[in-house]
Amino acid sequence: MTVRLTGNDFFQLVTNLSASPPETDLIEAFIHDINPLLGEVRLVRVGPNEPLQDHQFRLSSDHFEFDTLQLMGKTSHISMEMQVYLANATHQLSVLLNQRAEIHRLREQNRMFTEKLDYQRKQLANLESTNRDFMDGITDIIISVDRVFNITSWNPAAERFTGVGQAQALNHSLWEVLSEFRTPEIEMALIETETTRRPSSFMQLITRNLKDVYLQITVYPGSAGFFLFAQDQTRAIVQERENKAFMEKLRHAQKLESLGVLAGGIAHDFNNLLLGILGNVSLAMMDLKPDSTPYQCLVDIEQAAKRAADLSSQMLAYSGRGKFIVDQVDATQLIQEMSNLVKASLPRAISIVYELNPGCLPFTGDSTQIHQALMNVILNASESIEGEGTIRVSTRPVVLTPDDIAACYLSENVSPGPHTQIRIEDTGTGMDEHTLARIFDPFFSTKFTGRGLGLAAVLGIVRAHNGTLRVNSSVRNGTRFEMFFPADTPAEEPRVNETSRFTTTWNGSGIVLFVDDEETVRNVGKRLLKRMGFEVLLANDGVEAVEMFARYGETIGLVILDMTMPRMDGKEALEHIKQIRPDVKIVLSTGYSERDVAANFQGRGFDAFIQKPYNYRELKDLVRMVLASTDFLKS
């Protein structure tokens, strides 16, 4: 049976397919609709096939290869005309398939583009958020201006610093919003940047909320104006100044410490030399008549040696190792007691005013040393007053904080807490910074006649009391000198036995072991003791002393022991001697101070201390006191 279909039938069939939903498989639908019309012939899908066979129809376009259809069955029933119609229909189907494929491709492309666009939008939003967070977190001020200096950008740091919001700043003149920024420095920087097209930077000081603020400002060239970056350098500059001040203070403290060690060592050696002078002079004077010329010469020598001993005491005071007799010091009472001496020491043109607080707590110290320190400061104040003037002395209780201590000259051994303050102010000429930095240097003076240890000794005395001090002065505005002593912190230092003078005639007997590394001291010590009636054994260091005591210890009734010696010092020698015979009497002697004995020999079992230099009478009184309860005495 011959199939008879017209071209219009095929056209209508494909046209109907064009209205199918997008998800419809058009090839399957075409086969499904046309096969019933073909009778005993069937149209089937055979896939892409090269080359085409008889009765095959390719579904393709310029860009796509869809499928290949083939007539199966009694193809003889299909006329050539029918095959042409079928070929036209498959061509129309290919066009329809191509349209569908293009639409799908465009939709897919659009979907991918949309997804990419959404991703880029999210990335941009994240970048904007990150940039916003970054800009918000920047502490540097960032401002951009156009060529007439109208503000075009204003970051949060600028808003925080100025208190001017972005809305109020944008499109306004920089000089209106930040009038204090208009300085010769920034104008020069703008001109330089405009000319060279290179950044220029400078430091600018402005006042903000009554505080100085240091800004490091850098001007960068822009295509439409300038960028201004301002970085707050206040903390760094203040820190640098504090570090510099601290290092200067540390350097000064180290210098004073070194000078103190040097002064202490010189005083020690000096006292050994003076002992040789004073001891021999006192012996020689005993053999001369007071009205003789040699006796008078020796008196002059003795007085000169004593003045040298006073200078040595000042050197020990400066080193913080001066004679130290522990007691409770009432600053107000002490100043009241010395007021007459102060008045007599000052020129009549200088008046002194006291503002003494009776509520000051006592502090532990040596009243004699405090007296010396106060007199040194007061006399120094009087020398700074030209003509008429006033010195004001005051006391009051204070509580020092760590910051207070950090601002003082001495801080290493000072603890925060209650202190007694002694303040001495004058209306003198004052000092510049250079002079103020050197006032505690030994022998420094702005006067031609100044050659003492006045304020240097004050520093040593205050240091020895674990105190601190502060000095403020400026040219033509006088000087304020403040000393602080820790209140209510008694230091339980052992009180060494004090010598007492005996009016009765006394001579000693027995053997005394005299130990010192200085030959001059050993010789004069031997002469002094022999004059008292003793036999004397000499040892030049601790090792020899211990060996000699081990040999003659049962007959030795007294040991006079130097503290500082080579090979074995006095501390170790004392321990060995006490192990051999615990009941032996021991007197410690040194060119340093009583305080060194208290610090180094506490609980060591010594009986007395005598500080070099000493004369015959001082040594005799001390020896008699130590041996008062022994068989060595005879009257």
Q: Is the dihedral of CA 166, 171, 177, 183 positive or negative?
A: positive
Residue 161 covered by a domain: yes
* Cβ(368)–Cβ(324) below 8 Å: no
The last residue of a domain, from among 457, 486, 515: 486
Residue 220 domain boundaries = 141-232
How much is the pLDDT for 494? 42
> pLDDT per residue over 502-542, tens digit each?
445 678 889 999 999 989 899 999 999 999 999 999 999 99
Mean predicted lDDT score pLDDT of the chain: 81
Tokens of 76: 């003889």
At residue 23, the 3 state secondary structure works out as coil
Lowest mean pLDDT among 43-57, 301-315, 552-566, 592-606: 592-606
In percent, how much of the chain has pLDDT > 90? Answer: 23
Q: Are residues 454 and 344 in the same domain?
A: yes
How much is the pLDDT for 565? 87
How much is the pLDDT for 499? 41
Tokens of 373: 């320190």
Orientation angle between helical segments 367-383 and 454-464, nearest 10 degrees: 150
| Ranges of H-type helices in 287-384 | 293-319, 331-337, 339-345, 367-383
Does residue 443 have a pLDDT over 60?
Answer: no
Is the bond into 51 cis (omega within 30 degrees of 0)? yes
Q: Is the dihedral of CA 587, 592, 594, 599 positive or negative?
A: negative
How much is the pLDDT for 28? 87
In percent, how much of the chain has pLDDT > 70? Answer: 84
Q: Which range is most confident: 28-37, 242-251, 416-425?
A: 416-425
Q: Are residues 470 and 381 in the same domain?
A: yes
* 235: nearest Cα among 256, 212, 204, 207: 212
Q: Residues with Cβ < 8 Å from 5, sequence gap 6 or more?
A: 37, 82, 85
* Cβ(408)–Cβ(414) below 8 Å: yes
What CATH number does the domain containing 362 carry? 3.30.565.10
Angstrom distance (rounded) from CA 30 to CA 24: 10
Q: How confident is the model at residue 598 (pLDDT cuts 50, 70, 90)?
A: low
> pLDDT per residue over 374-408, tens digit each?
988 999 899 889 889 999 999 999 999 988 888 88
Residue 102 covered by a domain: yes
The last residue of a domain, from among 486, 504, 537: 486
At 296, the amino acid letter reads: Q
Q: Is the dihedral of CA 27, 29, 32, 35 positive or negative?
A: negative
> pLDDT per residue over 179-196, tens digit each?
877 888 888 888 888 889
Angstrom distance (rounded) from CA 391 to CA 381: 7
Q: How confident is the model at residue 324 (pLDDT cuts 50, 70, 90)?
A: low
Lowest mean pLDDT among 26-35, 230-239, 593-602: 593-602
How much is the pLDDT for 32? 86
Q: What is the dihedral of CA 23, 26, 30, 32, to 10 degrees?
A: -40
- In terms of pTM, does the model score above 0.85? no
Residue 123 covered by a domain: no
Q: Are residues 432 and 504 in the same domain?
A: no
- Which is more confidently placed, 256 or 285? 285
Residue 122 covered by a domain: no
How much is the pLDDT for 569? 86
Give the H or E element holding residue 131: helix 80-137
How much is the pLDDT for 74? 81
Lowest mean pLDDT among 221-225, 267-271, 367-371, 620-624: 267-271
Which position has the token pair 């003198």?
428
* Cβ(633)–Cβ(508) below 8 Å: yes
Angstrom distance (rounded) from CA 87 to CA 191: 83
Tokens of 36: 């019933």
Q: Are residues 622 and 499 in the same domain?
A: yes
How much is the pLDDT for 184? 86
Angstrom distance (rounded) from CA 47 to CA 178: 80
DSSP 79: -
- Which is more confidently placed, 73 or 324? 73
Give the H or E element holding residue 418: strand 417-426
How much is the pLDDT for 317? 60
* Cβ(49)–Cβ(68) below 8 Å: yes
Distances (CA, A) of 569 to 378, 423, 493, 516: 41, 42, 22, 10
**DSSP-assigned beta bridge partners for residue 570:** none
How much is the pLDDT for 39? 78
Q: How confident is the model at residue 418 (pLDDT cuts 50, 70, 90)?
A: very high
Tokens of 491: 């230091």
Angstrom distance (rounded) from CA 132 to CA 135: 5
Angstrom distance (rounded) from CA 112 to CA 107: 9
Q: Are residues 479 and 331 in the same domain?
A: yes
How many domains are there within the chain?
A: 4
Q: Are residues 70 and 217 in the same domain?
A: no
How much is the pLDDT for 596? 55
Characterise 417 by phi-psi region: left (phi > 0), alpha (psi -120 to 50), beta (else): left
Mean pLDDT of 144-154: 89
Edge-to-edge, what's the strand order for the sheet holding 468-473?
A: 350-355, 389-400, 417-426, 479-486, 468-473
**DSSP-assigned beta bridge partners for residue 423:** 394, 482
Angstrom distance (rounded) from CA 607 to CA 627: 10
Percent of the chain that is helix, strand, coil (3-state, to 5): 45, 20, 30
Characterise 567 by phi-psi region: left (phi > 0), alpha (psi -120 to 50), beta (else): left
- Which is more confidently placed, 252 or 7? 7
Q: Are residues 390 and 338 in the same domain?
A: yes
Does residue 601 have a pLDDT over 80?
Answer: no
Q: Are residues 388 and 442 in the same domain?
A: yes
Q: Are residues 521 and 622 in the same domain?
A: yes
At 375, the amino acid letter reads: M
Mean pLDDT of 121-150: 82
DSSP 499: P
Q: How confident is the model at residue 325 (pLDDT cuts 50, 70, 90)?
A: low
Q: Are residues 269 and 332 in the same domain?
A: no
What CATH number does the domain containing 207 carry? 3.30.450.20
Does residue 314 have a pLDDT over 90?
Answer: no
For 599, other C-beta atoms within 10 Å of its C-beta total: 13
Mean pLDDT of 476-492: 80
Q: What is the DSSP string of 535-554?
A: EEEEESSHHHHHHHHHHHTT
Mean pLDDT of 61-79: 80
